[in-house]
A and B are shown apart, each in its own frame.
Chain A
């Protein structure tokens, strides 16, 4: 479950066929830059970064001892970043995995993050 505050980098691609939506869940704050750099290097555009919280974090109902103010002002520990991008070429996935690993964001490690692809349709507006 995510509560969204998003940032978009770049423009949407022109080619709208055989599209996928790339979702990268990044669980470690310091790896977000590495993920975005990998996407820039592969010339993936229209990237949006959404900040959310893990379900366990919301349900945990933790009792703060000394860190209550951090909860009150919305401290960002245990936040999850969701990187969304439309992906025109499925062939970019393998080099993306490699680049992410080189940048320290090894998606094979579930503690670091997860990558998934969803087939997507970008319908044209009627009359165009």
Chain B
């Protein structure tokens, strides 16, 4: 009974949250920072609502209930993966998008490396984990940190003027593309034998991962080659999400990665009209799924000791360094040096795929593992802090010497 009530509550919150958050509100009376308003604009408050509903406080979403809600989370991960992959319709890309791909991936790759390497040693030292688990934790943090959330840029970018407008478009393009590194790196984490009871090899799990995604993609392409109404397309979509995602979770693979591969196959092999309809259906669930993830990530968050908060501080510093260095390196010869030096500050917005990666890790390896708790705390703190400051930083990078727009 409690599970049913919890599911209903979470669904209601997700639907309500998708309507009342993420709205572009006039940024009234701002002078360089947005503080609490940022939280409400980007939906981050749902992490706290989830934490309140979780075991440490109200206990409505306790550990047993969360185990029961796992299929919903799996479905959500699959939905996000499919939505991510289905946008990679390479044949529709113009020269601007194509030319932005390599720099975006390079900057995300640099961030991933700058976070992963130190954190391997930090986790080893602070949590006394084995080599394999340190690798899992460090790579997960690298994956989460490499992604740029699109919220701050979307909120602030439209108000940019003059040269700032072109820079806003570039930053948005980078934010749109760099999620690929997060999805692939975390997909690779799930190939490590340690997550499969030390059975199999990296190559085997990689082949299964990619193969499952490709097969599901081909099934969708075949089914949608018939003239289907919207309701029938939705059925195909749900079937793909449940079967692909379910199989991936059963095999302890990343539903995010597997369904991203599925989405990419569908994007590049389907008829244009079918693809548009599928994209339209998937986008409608965009915000509801994200709010759901924020709630459940918060509910599964067991804030650890103070040492993990220090690790969160290190994560923020390394991520900022990585973004600055990555963009400086990736955009050499593309962007003027004066801009390139601080461009990375405009890409600090955090959320979206980072939350999805954390939730994916929680799904694959539950049971109160110290590495899962540490990674969850580090990323959630990173998201909360980043979303407080990133809109103001974006504004500064876009040349906003004047005050931000007021109502």
Contacts and interface: CB of A to CB of B under 8 A. Distances in A.
Interface string B270-310: 00010011011011101100100000000000000000000
A62 B25 CA distance: 11
A61 B158 contact: yes
A50 B152 CA distance: 33
A14 interface: no
Interface string A43-72: 000000000000000001111111111111
Interface in B65-92: 80, 83-84, 87-89, 92
Nearest to A78: B280
Majority-rule SS of B interface residues: helix
B273 A65 contact: no
Given A28-B230, A72-B173, A73-B93, A65 B22 contact: yes
Nearest to B287: A65
A104 B227 CA distance: 13
A68 B353 contact: no
Contacts of B80: 66
B230 A63 contact: no
A75 interface: yes
A63 B154 contact: yes
B323 interface: no
B176 A61 contact: no
A3 interface: no
Contact of A73 (B89, B151, B277, B290): B89
A109 interface: no
B175 interface: yes
A61 B97 contact: no
B77 to A, nearest CB: 11
A67 B87 contact: yes
Contacts of B22: 62-63, 65
A30 B286 contact: no
Nearest to A28: B230
Contacts of A60: 24
Interface in B163-177: 172-173, 175-177
A75 B88 CA distance: 11
A77 to B, nearest CB: 4
A68 B151 CA distance: 9
Interface residues of A, number: 24
A75 B89 CA distance: 10
A37 interface: no
B64 interface: no
A29 interface: yes
A105 B235 CA distance: 21
B377 interface: no
B150 interface: yes
A30 B230 contact: yes
B155 interface: yes
A65 B286 contact: yes
A76 interface: yes
B24 A75 contact: no
B352 interface: yes
A58 to B, nearest CB: 11
A69 B87 contact: yes
B154 A30 contact: no
Given A29-B277, A61-B24, A73-B87, A66 B352 contact: yes
Contacts of B88: 69
A28 B233 CA distance: 14
B336 interface: no
Contacts of A77: 276, 279-280, 283-284
Given A69-B87, A72-B176, A73-B87, 10 more contacts: A29-B277, A61-B24, A62-B24, A63-B23, A65-B151, A65-B286, A65-B352, A69-B88, A75-B276, A77-B276
10 contacts: A28-B230, A30-B229, A61-B154, A66-B352, A68-B150, A70-B279, A72-B97, A72-B173, A74-B92, A75-B276
Interface of A: 28-30, 60-79, 104
Can you list the 8 inter-chain pairs with the closest CB atoms, starting with the nearest? A77-B280, A61-B24, A69-B176, A68-B150, A69-B87, A63-B22, A68-B176, A65-B290
